[in-house]
Every structure is written in C-alpha cells, then in structure tokens.
Amino acid sequence: MDTLPVASGAGAEPLTPAQLRELYSLMVAVRHLDTSAIAWQRQGIIPGYAPELGQEAAQVGSGYAVDTTRDFVFPTYREMGVARTMGVDMVAYMSTHKATWHGGLYNPMESRLAPIQAVVAGSVLHAVGWAHGQTLAGTADGKLGVALTYFGDGASSQGDVHEALNFAAVMKAPVVFFVQNNGWAISVPTERQVAGGSVAARAAGYGMPALQIDGDDVVAVVEATRRAFAHARAGNGPVLIEAMTYRRGPHSTSDDPGRYRSLDEERDGAGADPLERFRQRLLADGIADEAFFAEALAAAKAEEEQIRTGIQALGSRPGTEMFDLVFQETTPALQAQAANWREESEHV
C-alpha cells in the first residue's frame, strides 16, 4: 500500500536516541493521562471520556511530525495524544471532558490544533480548505504549511471524507489525511464498515499516494508521517496514511464493549501493547534503561496530578459567554435575550 514516491520522502533522517526517548516519554504521559481520565470519570471528576488506549503510538508518532510554527492539526474527539505531543495546554484540552466547553478551552489558533470535533468526519474538509489557503498564500521558501487531519475507520464512510479527498487531490492541497483504523466504530467492526477492507486503498482512486502502516509502531508512524509531510510541504499534493491500530478500551466511558465483542476477540485483535513494544525495543537497542522508564513514569504521574488539579479547579463558565461568544458583532436580538436571561437568573 506504499504508493508514496520514495524520492519525495527524502530528508527524513533516522530518529536520534534522544528523540526516541522523548517519544517514549510522550507515550507514557499520554497512556497515564488516558487511563487516569477513566478513573476520573469513575470518581465523578469528569462526566465522560473517550479513551485512546492502544492508539498512543499512532497519535504520538503522527503528532511528533508536526511543525507548530507552520502546520495546523484537525483532530476528532479522540486525539488527546496528539494534543499532548503538540504541547497543547492539557487542562484546557481536557476541560471538554469536564463538560466545561465544547471544543476545549485552549486557543486553537495559537495551539495550531483546531477545536475538538464531535461530528464524525466534520473537520476533514476544513483541513483541505486551510491547506488550499497555504497554496493561495504562497510560500517564500518553497515549504508549505501542511494540514494534518485525523479521522477513523468509521468516519471514512462519510461523504465528507470523499469530498475532502477529491478536493484535496484536484487542488493538490498540502494535506496529510491520517486515518486511525482502530478496528471499530463504536460496535461496528471495520469489515462491516470499510468495503474492500482498507481506507488506504481508496487513495489510489484519487491519484493520491497512500501508506498503510503499523500504527502501533511509533517509529514507523513518525517516519511515515514525516515522509507524507515532506511530500505535501514541497507542493506535491495530499497523502493518505492509514495507521492500523486497535481501540483497546470502550468507545467512551458510557460504552459497554461486552455487548459486541468478547475479551478473547479483544486480545486477539489488539495484538501487542504499543507502549510495551516500544519499551522492549528501546531496551534491546540500548537506548533506554529501567531507570529512564521509571523516571518517565514518575514524570507522567506528576503531570497527570497537575492536570487533575487544574481540571478539578475549573468552575463552570459564566452564562454571559453563551451570548457573548456567538458572534464577533453581536445583535440587538441576542443582547435582548442576554439581558432577559440576566434579569431572570438574578431574580432567583
């Protein structure tokens, strides 16, 4: 499925030991925050959460390729690992799961991460538009900003994904379509979702290069994403990456996977844990040792504690924001409603 011209992948030097360790630290931080968030939900700290257990390599690896000075990332509701890798303020990010603000409290323009997107396939076209904007704006150094857009195997069924692939390819827009094929869309397995069995296989029909990769191998993910970015950045048009992974947890904290898949199926489908795989590899290659792993875990724990404290401290947003943030230029009708609301809620 590797239809990306090799020539265009040039310039991607192998990852250094320091980078490999950084990737591991990121994956541990993400894993720890992710599993903690489930605990938070059980403890009533947050009302719900969509875990990404098992997708750390795909998320950290792809997010690692982003240049936040010029690229822009379009997540779904499950890209916590990408956000963390990009250095987004994680209290502001996780606030969406506290139900503080749909889309999150972080500043998307500064973070270069679009607001959390709850519509399946909702932002894939936005990425194409943003990317075409880079082409229109032009570039002084021949290097375009690249849009990186995430979607799932389930989302691949939406018409918007097709329109996005076609628009991007017709316009040669610098987009990297990053599909996390995690085997499931809530209760529906990929084989009853994705006709033909592979999202990457769709790309050829648009004359678009594609890579289907082991999404649980973080190094493979970084390398593939970098190749794709180099291709798009140079003005050669979009690339599709299908990272094969597995949704190890429930769809969300309100889902009950026992209704549609057995524990045996889960074990078989999931394969080896990407974090553990990477750990073994670092050990085998002598790049990291147990002390490093312990340190990384400790850092992850400290980080999670800080984020939890931040989340717990988050109050509700003031009701005036309901009215004030609708428009850049408010309207008399909205102001009247706001005044009415203020009056009636102060009475109480």
Partner 1 sequence: MSNSILEGAAAAGPARSAAATTTAATTTVMSMQQALNRALDEVLAENPQAVIFGEDCGRLGGVFRITDGLQAKHGEQRVFDTPLAESGILGMSVGLAMAGFHPIPEVQFDGFAYPAINQIVCQIARMNYRSRGTMPMPITLRVPSFGGIRAPEHHGESLEALFAHVPGLKVVSPSNPHEAYHLLKYAATRPDPVIFMEPKSRYWQKGDVDLAHCDADGGDPTGAKVMREGRHLTLVAWGAMVARCLQVAELAAEDGIDIEVLDLRWLKPIDAEALAASVRKTRRAVVVHEAPLTSGLGAEVAQLITQSCFDTLKAPVERVTGFDVPYPSGDLEDEYIPNIDRILFGIQRVLEYKRG
Ligand X SMILES: Cc1ncc(C[n+]2csc(CCOP(=O)(O)OP(=O)(O)O)c2C)c(N)n1
* Tokens found for residue 327: 């428009």
Residue 201 interacting partner from its own copies, Mg ion, partner 1, none (CB closer than 5 to 8 Å by kind): its own copies
Nearest Cα neighbor of 267 from 151, 152, 180, 183 is 183
Binding to its own copies by residue 153, rule CB under 8 A?
Answer: no
Residue 74 contacts residue 273 (beta carbons within 8 Å): no
Binding window for partner 1 (CB under 8 A); candidates: 10-18, 229-237, 287-295, 339-347: 339-347
Surface-to-core class of residue 96, CB atoms within 10 Å of its CB (0-12 exposed, 13-18 middle, 19+ buried):
buried
CA distance 179 to 20: 23
182 binds, among Mg ion, partner 1, its own copies, none (CB under 5 to 8 A by kind): Mg ion
C-alpha span between 131 and 137 (Å, rounded):
10
Distance CA 119, CA 127 (A): 14
The reply on whether position 345 binds partner 1 by CB under 8 A is yes
Q: Of 111, 182, 245, 253, which one interacts with ligand X (CB under 6 A)?
A: 182
Site for ligand X in 257-276 (CB under 6 A): none
Residue 151, classed as helix, strand or coil, is: strand
- Asked about 247 being catalytic, the answer comes back as yes
**Interacting positions 33-52 with partner 1 (CB under 8 A):** 47-48
Q: Which of residues 66-85 bind partner 1 (CB under 8 A)?
A: 72, 77
Distance CA 306, CA 308 (A): 5
CB of 7 to its own copies, least distance (A): 20
What binding mask, one character per residue, do residues 231-250 give for ligand X by CB under 6 A, x or -? Answer: ----------------x---
* Span from 18-26, 147-155, 202-210, 288-296 in contact with ligand X (CB under 6 A): 147-155
Pairing of strands 175-181, 147-152: parallel
Asked if 182 interacts with Mg ion (CB under 5 A), we say: yes
Distance CA 181, CA 152 (A): 6
Cα angle, residue 168 at apex, residues 165 and 174 outer, rounded to 5°: 125
Number of residues that bind ligand X (CB under 6 A): 15
State how far the Cα of 84 lies from the Cα of 92, in Å rounded to an integer. Answer: 11
Q: Which of residues 141-160 bind Mg ion (CB under 5 A)?
A: 152-154
Q: Is 227 a catalytic residue?
A: no
Dihedral angle at the C-alpha atoms of 16, 73, 231, 55, nearest 10 degrees?
A: 60
Identify the active-site residue in 132, 202, 226, 247.
247
Instruction: Provide the token pair at 346.
Output: 């102060």
Residue 3 or 19: the one with the smaller Cβ distance to its own copies is 3
Interface with partner 1 (CB under 8 A), residue from 1, 70, 260, 299: 260
Annotated active-site residue in 112, 251, 279, 308: 251
Q: For its own copies, what does the binding mask look like between residues 172 and 211, x meaning CB under 8 A? A: --------------------xxxxxxx--xxxxxxxx---
Is 267 an annotated catalytic residue? no
Question: Catalytic: which of 70, 162, 260, 277?
Answer: 260
Judge whether 285 and 87 are in contact, CB under 8 Å: no
Strand, coil or helix: 187 = coil
Would you say 27 or 169 has its CB closer to its own copies?
169
Q: Cβ 48 to ligand X, closest distance in Å?
A: 12
3-class secondary-structure state, position 5: coil
Distance separating alpha carbons of residues 229 and 209, to the nearest angstrom: 12
CA distances from 121 to 61, 282, 315, 325 (A): 21, 35, 31, 25
Is the CB of 19 or the CB of 135 nearer to partner 1?
Answer: 135
Residues contributing to the site for Mg ion (CB under 5 A):
152-154, 182, 185
Residues contributing to the site for ligand X (CB under 6 A):
78, 118-120, 151-155, 182, 184-186, 247, 251
Q: Which residues are catalytic?
A: 247, 251, 260
Residues contributing to the site for its own copies (CB under 8 A):
157-163, 165-166, 168-170, 192-198, 201-208
